[in-house]
C-alpha cells in the first residue's frame, strides 16, 4: 500500500503495531540503510527534493527548515535537539493521535532519521497531556527501541547515537507554537519567544533545535526509503505526498483518512465523510481546524492543498475540517471557538489577553439578544485589529479571529437577524450554542 504510506500498518480494531510486526512490515529497514549508506547532508537534500511541507498547519518546507541548522564545526560545542510536536490542541484536529496510539514506531523511526539528518544528539516527543493511551504506547515503543538497539549509543553499529525522551505536556494550546513549546520543555511559562533568533540556531537551552509535527516526521521514513520522485508522485497538484485529512460535525461518518495532497474538498466530505446527515444542508466549514477562515459550498470543488486554499481566503491548516450545517448558529459556533482561544491565551500581549475576551463579550450580546448595530461595527473593528498580523506577539490571536471575521463575511445576515430579532432564531431548535 505504498500509495497510503502513513496508514498502511493501521489495523481495523485500532490495536497498536509493536516492534516485531512493524519490522515484519518493513519497518526500520530504511533506518538501517540510511545510517550505513547515506550522509546527513544527502538526507536533507532528499527531503528538500521531495517538497515535503510541514503538516502541523504552517506548511513550511521541511527540508528548507532543516537547512537552517548549523552543521559540523559551525554548530559549536554542545548538543542539538529534535522535538516532535505532539501537542495537537487545535480544535477539530485528531489526526496525530491515530498514529501515536496505533503506529508509534512509525514516528520513532521518522524521528531517528530526522535527528540523523540534522545530527541531533537528543530528541523529545512533546505530547499532549490528555493523550494518556498514546503516552502509554509511545513509552512502550521507545523501550522496545532501546532494547533492540535502535536508540541509545552507537545505533546498530553505525557510530550515530540518539537519546529519545517522552515529555507529557501540562496542556496549553499555545504550546503548539514552537518557541512556547520550547519554553515549556525547559520548565518555563509557555510564552512564545521573540524571533530572531530562530530555534534552528538557538532553541532548546540555547542550542540548535528543530520542531516538527508528528505527521511531518512520519513522512520522513517513507521519503528516505522510496525517494523524492515517488513521494512527489503521490500528490495530485503542486504539493507532494499524502495527507491525513479529517472531518467533524454533522456528517454521516466523521473521521480521518489518508488521501493524496490536492484531493478535492467535495470528495473528502461526500465520499469519505458520507455527506451531511439527512435533513441537514452544508452551510460552511473551517478547512483546517478551529483557527481557520470559513469556506462555503461554493468552494467544494477546490483542491485541499496549501496554495489553493490560501488563494480562496483561508488556510489548509491541519487539514481537518469542522462542518457547519444549516440548523446550527454560526455566531454560537464562533463564540464557542473564541471562548476557547480566550482561555488558551498565554497572556503575554494585551490585544490577545484582553481583546479576545472582549470579542467573547460582544458575541455574548448577540446570543442574548442585546446587540445593536454599534456592537456589530465594534465587533468587526476590534476583530480586524486583533487579527492583524504584527499587532500581537504571536499568531494565536490572528488565528482566533479568522473564524470570527469570515463569519462576518459569509453569515452577516445572521448577525443582523440577531439584532433585529433580539436573539438567536436557532435557539428554538436547541442549536444556538
Q: Which three cell numbers stand for residue 283?
A: 452551510
Q: What is the pLDDT, as a whole number, of residue 433?
A: 46
Alpha-carbon dihedral 342, 347, 349, 350, rounded to 10 degrees: 60
Per-residue pLDDT tens digits of the chain, which is 433 residues long? 478 999 999 999 999 999 999 999 999 999 999 999 999 999 999 999 999 999 988 889 999 999 999 998 888 889 999 999 999 999 999 999 999 999 999 999 999 999 999 999 999 999 998 999 999 999 999 999 999 999 999 999 999 999 999 999 887 899 989 999 999 999 999 999 999 999 999 999 999 999 999 999 999 999 999 999 999 999 998 899 999 999 999 999 999 999 999 999 999 999 999 999 999 999 999 999 999 999 999 999 999 999 999 999 999 999 999 999 999 999 999 999 999 999 999 989 999 999 999 999 999 999 999 999 999 999 999 999 999 988 999 999 999 999 999 999 999 999 999 999 888 877 644 454 4
Query: Residue 400: beta bridge partners?
Result: none
CATH for the stretch 19-234: 3.40.50.11540
Radius of gyration of the chain from Cα atoms?
22
Q: What is the largest CA-CA distance in the chain?
A: 74
Q: Which residue has the cell 455527506?
A: 275
Q: Which residue has the cell 534552528?
A: 200
Q: What is the pLDDT, as a whole number, of residue 432?
A: 47
269 Cα distance to chain centroid: 19
Q: Which fold has domain 242-325?
A: Ubiquitin-like (UB roll) (3.10.20)
Q: What is the pLDDT, as a whole number, of residue 56?
A: 87
Full DSSP string of 274-339: -SBPTT--EEEEEBTBTTS--B-GGGTTSB-SHHHHHHTTS--TTSEEEEEETTS-HHHHHHHHHH
Query: Which own/partner pairs from 68-72 qualify as long-range (CB within 8 Å, at least 24 positions apart)?
Result: 68/198, 68/200, 68/201, 69/118, 69/200, 69/201, 69/208, 69/210, 70/201, 70/208, 71/40, 71/41, 71/118, 71/119
Asked if 25 and 234 touch (Cβ cutoff 8 Å), the reply is: no
Asked if 152 and 161 touch (Cβ cutoff 8 Å), the reply is: yes
Question: For the purposes of burial, counting CB atoms within 10 Å of the CB of 427, is it exposed (0-12), middle (13-18) or buried (19 or more)?
Answer: middle
Compute the distance between CA of residue 315 and CA of residue 309 in angstroms, rounded to an integer.
6
CA-CA distances (angstroms) from residue 145 to 17, 182, 268, 313? 13, 25, 36, 44
Q: What is the pLDDT, as a whole number, of residue 427?
A: 63
Between vectors from CA 221 to CA 215 and to CA 225, what angle results, nearest 5°? 145
Q: Tell me the torsion sign for CA atoms 6, 12, 16, 17.
A: negative
Compute the distance between CA of residue 230 and CA of residue 242 in angstroms, rounded to an integer.
11
Q: What is the pLDDT, as a whole number, of residue 172?
A: 84
Asked if 16 and 101 touch (Cβ cutoff 8 Å), the reply is: yes
Q: Which fold has domain 330-429?
A: de novo design (two linked rop proteins) (1.20.1440)
Angle between helices 373-386 and 396-410 (to 10 degrees): 140
Domain positions in the chain: 19-234, 242-325, 330-429
Amino acid at each position: 500500500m505504498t500509495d497510503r504510506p502513513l496508514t498502511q500498518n493501521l489495523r481495523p480494531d485500532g490495536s497498536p503495531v509493536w516492534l516485531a510486526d512493524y519490522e515484519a512490515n518493513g519497518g526500520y529497514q530504511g533506518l538501517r540503510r540510511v545510517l550505513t549508506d547515506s550522509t546527513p547532508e544527502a538526507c536533507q537534500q532528499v527531503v528538500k527534493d521531495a517538497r515535503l511541507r510541514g503538516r502541523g498547519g504552517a506548511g513550511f518546507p521541511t527540508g528548507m527548515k532543516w537547512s537552517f541548522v548549523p552543521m559540523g564545526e559551525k554548530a559549536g560545542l554542545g548538543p542539538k535537539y529534535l522535538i516532535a510536536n505532539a501537542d495537537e490542541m487545535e480544535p477539530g484536529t485528531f489526526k496525530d493521535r491515530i498514529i501515536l496510539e496505533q503506529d508509534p514506531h512509525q514516528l520513532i523511526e521518522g524521528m531517528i532519521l530526522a535527528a540523523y539528518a540534522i545530527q541531533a544528539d537528543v530528541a523529545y516527543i512533546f505530547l499532549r497531556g490528555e493523550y494518556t493511551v498514546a503516552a502509554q504506547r509511545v513509552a512502550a515503543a521507545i523501550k522496545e527501541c532501546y532494547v533492540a538497539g535502535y536508540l541509545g549509543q552507537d545505533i546498530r553499529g553505525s557510530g550515530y547515537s540518539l537519546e529519545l525522551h517522552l515529555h507529557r505536556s501540562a496542556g496549553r494550546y499555545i504550546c503548539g507554537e514552537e518557541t512556547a513549546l520550547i519554553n515549556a520543555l525547559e520548565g518555563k511559562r509557555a510564552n512564545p519567544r521573540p524571533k530572531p533568533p530562530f530555534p534552528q540556531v538557538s532553541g532548546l537551552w540555547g542550542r540548535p533545535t528543530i520542531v516538527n509535527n508528528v505527521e511531518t516526521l512520519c513522512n520522513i521514513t517513507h521519503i528516505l526509503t522510496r525517494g523524492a520522485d515517488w513521494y512527489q508522485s503521490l500528490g495530485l497538484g503542486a504539493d507532494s505526498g499524502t495527507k491525513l485529512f479529517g472531518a467533524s460535525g454533522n456528517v454521516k461518518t466523521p473521521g480521518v483518512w489518508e488521501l493524496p495532497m490536492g484531493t478535492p474538498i467535495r470528495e473528502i466530505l461526500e465520499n469519505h465523510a458520507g455527506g451531511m446527515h439527512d435533513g441537514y444542508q452544508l452551510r460552511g466549514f473551517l478547512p483546517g481546524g478551529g483557527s481557520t477562515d470559513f469556506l462555503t459550498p461554493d468552494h467544494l470543488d477546490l483542491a485541499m492543498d496549501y496554495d489553493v486554499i490560501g488563494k480562496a481566503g483561508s488556510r489548509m491548516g491541519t487539514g481537518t475540517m469542522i462542518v457547519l450545517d444549516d440548523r446550527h448558529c454560526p455566531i454560537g459556533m464562533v463564540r464557542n471557538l473564541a471562548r476557547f482561544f480566550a482561555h488558551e491565551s498565554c497572556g503575554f500581549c494585551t490585544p490577545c489577553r484582553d481583546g479576545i475576551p472582549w470579542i467573547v463579550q460582544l458575541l455574548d450580546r448577540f446570543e442574548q439578544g442585546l446587540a445593536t448595530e454599534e456592537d456589530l461595527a465594534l465587533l468587526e473593528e476590534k476583530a480586524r485589529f486583533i487579527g492583524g498580523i504584527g499587532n500581537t506577539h504571536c499568531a494565536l490571536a490572528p488565528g482566533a479571529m479568522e473564524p470570527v471575521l469570515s463569519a462576518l463575511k459569509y453569515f452577516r445576515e445572521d448577525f443582523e437577524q440577531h439584532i433585529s430579532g433580539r436573539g438567536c432564531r436557532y435557539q428554538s431548535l436547541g442549536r444556538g450554542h
